[in-house]
Structure 1
């Protein structure tokens, strides 16, 4: 039943009218003056008092001037030269809060006020002249609650980190075992606390609610309620659902006596002479929003409703409870159950058996022979064999003309009978239910409808999830691919903030919990790999001592090349591969290309390289180190870019060609501690001069290998052969056949073979 309550203002006006009539009657009775003269004299007095009242109202509406804004850690102090009103509300952005000061002029310079204090990043003050209004836009460093405290001409806003406050309250009040709804506070749940707040001027003159002439108690109170002093502060606001009722509880530090009245789809509670020192909870259906504003002599709490509905207000000790009756659709959603539990038909149930007995004979084979038999007794027989509890739908009917099976399990026999008669089964625990397939189809449809209604009725909440190691776009794509967030609802979705690497999720709490679990799995730090490379140039006759042995037979018929086992002391050849002859030259009848991949101990490789360098048989070209993340490419490059001129219709153009020694490595860590390497090694050098420019000699290796963590991979086979011939002698005499050798000298150098060896050592780095 809706309870009609008067506002204090209307009560005072009604009392003034009654007092006026009493004074007129007293005047006429106490004097010999006519009633008309008494009425005239009292009217003059009332007119004078009315003028005084008007003057006082005008005095109350005098314009104040904002004189100072002071920011400290988690606190904002707003000072004015006169008392003022204020309204605090939060827009959809959880990092913002807005304070509106009606009838207040801005007495300080407009513009952004930067803050280095905790809780507040910046404040943007602004002013409108008609009517006078000062607005303060506050940018918070994190989503938080705002608790105001007003005294005299000073408004103090306390920025409260709700997560830290929750931990503190949980520790202090563990013995009190508070309700789950009272402790389940998250920083993101303050987002809609003052959502859709428009103004604190709720009770406009034309919207004054009608009040009964007969005076009634403001609120029903409990008979055993103990006497408490009047409250000066609201210390807690809580909202919860109990069966078919939504309850909003406002708790003070003493007794509360609110004035309650209604507007269009709004319920307004005025709390005289109290301040709001607690954050407002997130609204639940059928409430659309909860907002609050501070007046000079009261705090006003406005409850925005989705639709007009009945409510009751009760004052018990230090609390005021506003109870809303849930609509029918809310009741249905709250009581929705699985369709299986809605079954009203009487079914045939077999004697219940323990769960351990079910399926005990699943693999055992039997012979069956049924003739002109009803199928229900057959199901009873299978229940005894299987040890499961069978529940038979009353719609299951039929007779078997002839069924003869040999060496089959009871489960296979059951499936044959079900398929023959268009039946289905459903297994839950040790209970097997048998019914027509149409029944299961209908149940699935009803279950889907109930789930849809439940999801539609469930409250939409907003939470902010920060991504630490992955990118917001990667996590957003994974959530979308997992189809957790519904695309059919416009009020649900994912918003990415690439600047803060943050996801803003709007969905039901159930789906948000699923998203958090997915983020917890995916948002982890990748392991890193330190790649150390040694690039060395050596003579081929010394390559064996470095762990690579070259060999094979070379001939005009079938030249071969060998790939050897890798060992510091040399090894045997495991493969001989035929190759195609390179040409018909008598000096070079066949060509050989060598390539070897192997692993060696890092310490032995370093010792061997040091020994060769000491005798001048090797030259270390490069020893780079680079760290990369798992499954991310790393490139090491050293060399020069050579300018090459090209001529075209557009004219002469200069292009640069890289003559570099480069090494590209992509590591991938396996679960057993190995590192899979994708290697691309290239050695480009300046070649001979041609009419078109210098040629580029290219040598490259592209391969994959699996290396144990900390071991060294050896890549070889990139080598060059240099041969030179020279002749000096006396001109003319040196050209005489045979005798010319007495007057000339022929010099031949080579072949000098140099080989490029690459040693790669991957090391897994678990912590940076």
Structure 2
């Protein structure tokens, strides 16, 4: 009996220990997932305090540029107050609050785009943000000495090759080219480029493998550099060299050395020239009918020449100054959403990094440039803008058209009798046959000038409209003879 006591005590202790672990573990899990309430915001001199009802707050802080701001994400937190914006005007301009499913975000916008040296500390569940305003902000240590300068940019395409030449004030080191899809990036070290030369070189109309070249300035390892992003029409051989005090980018254009002839979509008819409408008696196809109708409508009119410049898009967005160096495209689009005050949803296929520098550019123009560089497009649905790769948008459009065609094929057909009054029945039958859908058919009724057409209702309407144009009486010529 005595020998069994230790065993019972051990079993009892084990049960107590197990219960402690189970209940204690449950309490710890519950505590870690408990919501934190931000009760108030106290704004003082060079100091902001976020008061909470918790003794322990999980948060992370980081800074962003263009525009400069400090961001603090407090996990599992909700504000008790309804205000979403506070004015600071001391080091920081404003404090903005955003609500998310798993956190509350506090964004401190820098005053005059100068970010103070802020410190974020947690004291008894309070988040204390304190700072001392700096006289200036240095984004990266710059190598001393006077840098080179880009003085001139030239582009020429001839004799099967394209040559892009950048004239420099003095010789410098080359930044080796790197290929990213159809974009070749290269540049020069310790160099600056004036704003007047930061223009896209559009080579799309040249017999060249180069589509466009975009210059931009950046800082790499603390050194001022000028980079060039050359978007190519296709894969070709190329070289990048420093020749004396010039950067030379040369491509072997190959099949891109010839410009394909542009298709003419309209005909220019001089004023006063008489165009004779061809007879409808010998019409063989719908294309001839359309061509004849277009010719008739152009009589005495001058159409604008093909190839005229398209209307220039006018950008009205707020001017921004952005500088990105190998920045995640998703972070860039988040910034665009904040500046534009739009609801933006990114597809999972929107990925990659972006390097660019924009100065005093409307945000909507900046968005178009970013979309073009990354081959992205947008779809607007109400007050939401979806951003997807162009290939995905094209696939969606193709699927939509295929679905539309499928609906047409499933549409019930109807039969209608058309009477031909003036023209030859066989020639009209040939024209209608070219217009039919996949399930349509036409046949002439023997012994009459009537056609029986079976097709979907929309096609029957088109055929009826065309028949009104084709079936016109033949003009008669009256010959009068007078015998003297």
What is the TM-score of this pair, normalised by structure 1?
0.20
Q: Which has the higher contact order (CA 8 A, sep 6+)?
A: 2
What is the TM-score of this pair, normalised by structure 2?
0.30
